[in-house]
Amino acid sequence: MNILIVDDEEVLQDVLTALIRRAGHTTLSARTGEEALEMLEREEVDLVLLDLMLPGLSGQQVLRQIRQRDPAQVVVVITAYSSIESAIDAMREGAFHYIPKPFKNEEVLLTIRKGLEQRRLATENRDLRQQLRQRFGLDNLVGKSKPMQQVYDLIQLAAPAKSNILILGESGTGKELVAKAIHHHSRRADGPFVTVNSGSMPADLLESNLFGHVKGAFTGAIASKKGLFELATGGSIFFDEIGNIPLDTQAKLLRVIQEKEFMRLGGIETLKADVRIIAATNADLEATVAQGQFREDLYYRLNVITVALPPLRKRSEDIPLLAQHFLAYYARENDKPMTEIAPRAMELLLDYHWPGNVRELENVIERAVVLSTGSVLGVDLLSSAVRHPEAMAMPPASLASTGIAFRDAVTEYERHLIIKALQSSGGVQKRAAELLQVKPTTLHEMMKRLNISSESVVSS
């Protein structure tokens, strides 16, 4: 590591230089605060040893300027015993620690070692945040179609704002990926991103997960526990399938949004909710509100900025880009030599209607890469649904002279696909969800809406 020693006493400079170099580090020297600041402009320094008593700029002034230029810079101040108060003031200004004169060599090396460890952790955290921004940045949202360009523009405008965001789109369109992109382009990017699986747990357990609980709040609460709102402090909380939240919990969520505060279950202490809410749904929330299953006031609180994701069938020009993107990724992940997609295979990908959207396309490409032995993804590696879409298709509804309602036809088609998947899976909903390439919670909601039960399907 590279350590800058800032001290106007030549003897002390020599002692510290010899000590630090014996420990395996390199050193730089500065006799004044002005010289130190100039050196920090042109050199990469991991830790600064700063004497508070300097000619010209004082150590306190130098520390202040260092912190303004680079808040992550680790600074250890050196001071006389008679000036301990100054050292404490320096720590309030952001110094890592102080070393009193006269000092022991072991004390200096220990303090340096701890300071460098903090520097290492800060660098790792910075690098990790950068990797997250790259992974969940706009560059990872593949697509050049006009609908996707509109989505990119909206994300860039909405991300820096404080407003709540509602993401709409069918299952598999990438709603969580968009939520992460919004978070990592926001002012809360350095804070946590916490996901709430809204429809995967009963109401009482969901509330405990959201708000936390105190010891003894209910049977089994043997210790206090922080909720997801506390864990998301300073960051964003993402409600996946917000439409599945029970009405009672909706009322409590509304209070959090309005009052910016909440209480743990069984508690009396009011806690601040310093979070940004991003919600997503594949349901028609306006229809759900009209049916009395979702609170209208909560809907308008969430629906400040709406990001509508187009289904893959509405942006078919993005299919080649997405397919090549997933091909390169899974070939690298599985150490496979596959580099291209055969023309006929690409034709089938373009012709398929993709009910599972981008997630289904990703699964198809991943499967093909895993099963491949060569460098070209051919027709034989595609799933049967893509190769023979007619086998999954419902017999076309005949158009009588009176016509047929579009929504009724879509509902009938959904029902057909779900029943076929349940029959193929022996009534096991989790397996049926995998076949349909949707989440089990999504399938459960669809079955409830269409009044389909696994038992009746299997028995028939």
**pTM for the complete prediction?**
0.60
Contact 196, 240 (CB under 8 A): yes
What is the residue range of 412's domain? 406-459
Helix spans in 307-405 (H): 319-333, 343-351, 357-371, 384-387, 389-392
Q: Are residues 271 and 326 in the same domain?
A: no
28 vs 1, residue with greater confidence: 28
**pLDDT, mean of residues 344-355:** 92
87 shares its domain with 225: no
What mean pLDDT is reported for the chain?
Answer: 85
- As a whole number, mean pLDDT of residues 256-284 equals 90
364 and 338 belong to one structural domain: yes
pLDDT at 140: 59
Same domain, 271 and 167: yes
Tell me what pLDDT residue 394 has: 52
Q: Of 276, 308, 340, which residue constitutes the final position of a domain?
A: 308
> What sign for the dihedral angle of Cα 456, 290, 200, 366?
positive
Total domains in the fold of the chain: 4
- For 321-344, the pLDDT digits (tens) are 999 989 998 999 999 998 899 999
| pLDDT tens figures, 66-105 | 988 888 889 999 887 656 777 788 888 888 888 888 888 8
| Segment among 20-29, 83-92, 361-370, 371-380 with least mean pLDDT | 83-92
365 in a structural domain: yes
Task: State mean pLDDT over 52-71.
Answer: 88
Nearby residues of 168 by Cβ (< 8 Å), 6 or more positions away: 175, 280, 281, 282, 285, 306, 307, 308, 309
- Residues 307 and 158: their CA atoms lie apart, in Å, by 9
Residue 18 maps to which CATH number?
3.40.50.2300
pLDDT given for residue 399 in this prediction: 47
Domain end (from 66, 97, 132): 132
Q: How do strand 270-272 and strand 261-263 relate by DSSP bridges?
A: antiparallel
Interatomic CA distance for residues 229 and 214, integer angstroms:
15
- Same domain as 252, residue 105: no
Q: Which amino acid is at 317?
A: E
In a shared domain, residues 302 and 356: no
* 351: in domain: yes
**168: enclosing H helix or E strand:** strand 165-168
Residues 233 and 270 in one domain: yes
Q: Based on the domain organization, do 152 and 301 belong to the same domain?
A: yes
Q: Looking at the domain assignment, is residue 190 inside a domain?
A: yes
